[in-house]
Structure 1
Amino acid sequence: MNLSLQDIAWHRSVGQLIESLDQPNFWLSLVRLLGEYVPFDSWVVLLFSSGRPQVFAECPGEDGGPDPLFQDYLKGLYLLDPFYIASREHPRSGLQRLADVAPECFEQTDYYQRYFRLNVVADEVQFNVQLDGERTLCLSLGSKGRFNPEQIALLDLVRPWVSSLMRQRMAFERELLESAVAPAPRWQSRLEETVERLETPLTARELEVGRLMLSGCSSKEIARKLTISAETVKVHRKHMYSKLGIKSQSELFSLFLQAQA
């Protein structure tokens, strides 16, 4: 069996990572290793669960401090993140691309225009490790350009090593897990607080239609997810807009942001 110098370098680096599993710089070392093979511009390590995502490590902002846009994400925008939604609806381990999980109209949403394309810019891939029925450990890589098929294939090739390292690392994240905050309320509850002054509050179905709209689902996608007709979706949207006194999805997104504050 012939090994290339690149093969040898990879196995040596993985061995070094195994030795550093209990070290504070583990995540940064893992990300730097991946960056030697596939270029990317941002990264974050998250734990998705039923509550607010927990951050284990992240790349610094442009000024070296916390990224304010990412702080908005943690306050509540994560509820519109296609990767978060996928982890709740179809939890599984593996490598996911944005194209795998993004709804049909994702790039037309205010979430995409006002957060995603500014923070992640163009594309994102995510290593998922399903820890149990509720928790998914995620390493996300963001890029200013689209990941090409060769880069995706390479990331998928090294996924077994990366996933194993991520899973083993969890034994040394206990302190952060033990200090976890209580689960954040669902976005429906937050929006309900904003519109509770209304004499005719939104129904549960209207709230669900609103969430799916904001995440980028088309009327057909919403109808399929909720097992209703596309015409019924339009009726729910019309009633929701009327009750809220708004005329557009952008205004609905603004209400959602108010609910986060």
Structure 2
Amino acid sequence: MNLSLADMAWHRAIGQLIEELDCPGFWRSLVRVLGDYVPVDSWVAVMFSDGRPYSFAESPYEGESPDPLFHDYIQGLYLLDPFYIANREKPVSGLFRLAEVAPERFTQTEYYRLYFNQNVKEDEVHYNVPIDETRTLCLSLGSLSRFTPEHLALLELARPWVAGLMRQRLFFEAAVSEAPTRQPQRWQGDLEQAMERLGTPLTARELDVIRLILSGCSNKEVANKLDISAETVKVHRRHIYAKLNIKSQPELFALFLKAQAKA
């Protein structure tokens, strides 16, 4: 057997991670190992479920203090996260890149401008590990530059190791066993509850349209997801704007934030 120094370094690092599975700094150590091979500027280990995501660990922010932008994400912005939406629509195991899950107009959204572009910057990939029918363990890796095909190939090559370690780590995360279980397909209700706080009656279909619009879907994408025509989407949009007395998507996003703040 011929092993290179790089091979030996990788296997040594994996061995050390196995030793650290029950240690508080496990997630940081895992990201540090991956960071030796690809550029990682921000990261978070999070559990997606039918309700609010639960964060196990995240990249440090200004001397170990909590990241205020990520706090906003957990409080409600996650409802507009392409990775969260894609995972709730179809939870699957694998490595996923932002370009694979983001809607056509994602970079034109207020979510992108005020959160993603401030917190993640340029590119993001997710390791997804489904745990059961409602929960998926995710490791998000953000970068200030685009991940190259070589970077993605290395991350995919490491996926079996990373996924196995992530799954084993759950045995040492007390919050997993303490978290209440919820019924499938209720995650969209979080948006309904938030918008109800504004005191303006909106139909279930209008709420679906709002979520998709704010996440960056074009009228065509909204129509495809809801199995309606693009013209019907435009009618819904006009009705929504009229009910909320607004004229633009930024105003709609501001109302969304206001609704979350009242939670």
Alignment TM class, shorter chain as reference = over 0.9
Superposed, 1:108-127 pairs within 5 Å as 108-127=108-127
CA distance in structure 1 between the partners assigned to 2:62 and 2:197 by the alignment: 35
CA contact (8 A) 1:241 1:247 kept: yes
2:190 maps to which of 164, 175, 186? 186
Q: CA deviation at 1:82?
A: 0.4
CA distance in structure 2 between the partners assigned to 1:202 and 1:58 by the alignment: 35
CA distance in structure 1 between the partners assigned to 2:210 and 2:16 by the alignment: 48
Instruction: Name 2:131's counterpart in structure 1.
Output: 131
Instruction: Name 1:17's counterpart in structure 2.
Output: 17
AA aligned to 1:212 is L
Closer, same or farther in 2 for the Cα pair 1:63/1:12, shift >3 Å? closer
Q: CA deviation at 1:181?
A: 6.8
Q: Over aligned residues, Cα RMSD in angstroms?
A: 1.3
AA aligned to 1:143 is S
> Secondary structure at the residue paired with 1:33?
helix
AA aligned to 1:177 is V
CA contact (8 A) 2:170 2:176 kept: no
Superposed, 1:27-38 pairs within 5 Å as 27-38=27-38
Q: CA deviation at 1:212?
A: 0.3
Q: CA deviation at 1:111?
A: 0.3
Superposed, 1:229-248 pairs within 5 Å as 229-248=229-248
Q: Percent identity?
A: 65
Query: Following superposition, which runs of at least 4 residues in structure 1 exceed 6 angstroms of deviation?
Result: 181-184
CA contact (8 A) 1:122 1:143 kept: yes
CA distance in structure 1 between the partners assigned to 2:234 and 2:86 by the alignment: 24
> Secondary structure at the residue paired with 1:92?
coil
CA distance in structure 1 between the partners assigned to 2:87 and 2:181 by the alignment: 19
CA distance in structure 1 between the partners assigned to 2:72 and 2:177 by the alignment: 24
Q: CA deviation at 1:60?
A: 1.2
CA contact (8 A) 1:51 1:182 kept: no
Q: Is 1:88 matched up with 2:92? A: no
Long gaps (5+) in structure 2: none
* Farther-moved stretch of structure 1 (146-155 vs 178-187): 178-187
CA distance in structure 2 between the partners assigned to 1:27 and 1:189 by the alignment: 33
CA distance in structure 2 between the partners assigned to 1:129 and 1:136 by the alignment: 6
